[in-house]
Copies of this chain bind each other. A is one copy, B any other.
Amino acid sequence: MAKHELMARSECPVARTLEAIGDRWILMILREAFDGVSRFSDFQRRLGVARNILTVKLKALVELGIFEVQPASDGSAYKEYVLTEMGQATFPIVISLRQWGERFLYRPGEMHSVLLDNASAQPVQALTVRARDGKALGPQDCHRSLIRRED
């Protein structure tokens, strides 16, 4: 608990994000949401996750403001978990995880999915940290500075 409290108060946004969503199931749920999954039963079936765990994780995602609960779009009694703007903005996180895995975690001959641009059917670019002028930056090319969040 002490760890979580410290991370939630941290001036480091990496620590604060990990405190909020740095959890395998939460990130897998976000992956499913980007594939269009929105119902409890569909998350459960596709992830093979226990109902009680899924309940806790979805509740956390709603409380964080990542999902909004809406009535089912087909008029049925189901609820749908719909990504908010804050939820949609996790897209680069999920894609950075995907691209690192594509590059390092498969042996020759293994099958894996890749992400294609609908318009061109070509793979998307590798996410790259860039300066304002477009120059690619590595960890050695950057430093951190403290700022106060504005209104």
Q: Which residues of A contact B (CB under 8 A)?
A: 2-3, 6-7, 11-20, 22-24, 27-28, 31, 34-35, 48-49, 65, 86, 88-135, 137-139, 141-151
Cβ A127 vs Cβ B13 within 8 A? no
Cβ B17 vs Cβ A98 within 8 A? yes
**Which residues on B sit within 8 Å (CB–CB) of A7?**
24
Copies of this subunit? 2
Cβ A99 vs Cβ B108 within 8 A? no
Closest Cβ neighbor of A10 among chain B residues: B112
Can you list 17 A-B contacts with CB-CB less than 8 angstroms, sorted by A residue number? Answer: A11-B111, A13-B106, A16-B106, A16-B112, A20-B105, A89-B100, A91-B129, A91-B138, A108-B151, A109-B149, A110-B149, A111-B147, A112-B146, A115-B144, A117-B141, A122-B131, A124-B137
Cβ A149 vs Cβ B106 within 8 A? yes
